[in-house]
Amino acid sequence: MIKTCAKVQNAPLAENYYLEAKRTVGLNLKIINSLMNLYARKHDPYECEKLLLEAKDMGMQIDTPTYTTLINSYYKAKNLKKCWSLYYDRVVTN
């Protein structure tokens, strides 16, 4: 449902589903990435990064699709310097 809300950019409903999932079944990278996609479409990389940091704080290992969503959010916000910085941190140093 979060993914569907993200496609139509219904942030309040997506956030409600996210909080409901967090409360009832717990979070995983697929759920987090779905909400990150919404923020990427809304050109809000800072919200994407907050979600990624939340996942890291929960001990999740960040996968390539989730990291790519973060890079894409900065690209859509026209912050290419940050895109390359994130790419370099992920690909070159790992």
Q: Which residues span the domain enclosing 64? A: 2-92
Q: Residue 8, exposed/middle/buried by CB under 10 A (0-12, 13-18, 19+)?
A: exposed
Q: What pLDDT, on the 0 to 100 scale, is given for residue 11?
A: 87
pLDDT in tens, the chain (94 residues): 888 888 888 888 999 999 999 999 999 999 999 999 999 999 999 999 999 999 999 999 999 999 999 999 999 999 999 999 999 988 776 6
Count of domains for the chain = 1
Measuring CA to CA, which residue among 35, 38, 48, 58 is closest to residue 79?
48
| Residue 27 DSSP label | -
How crowded is the C-beta side of 66, counted as CA atoms within 13 Å? Answer: 21
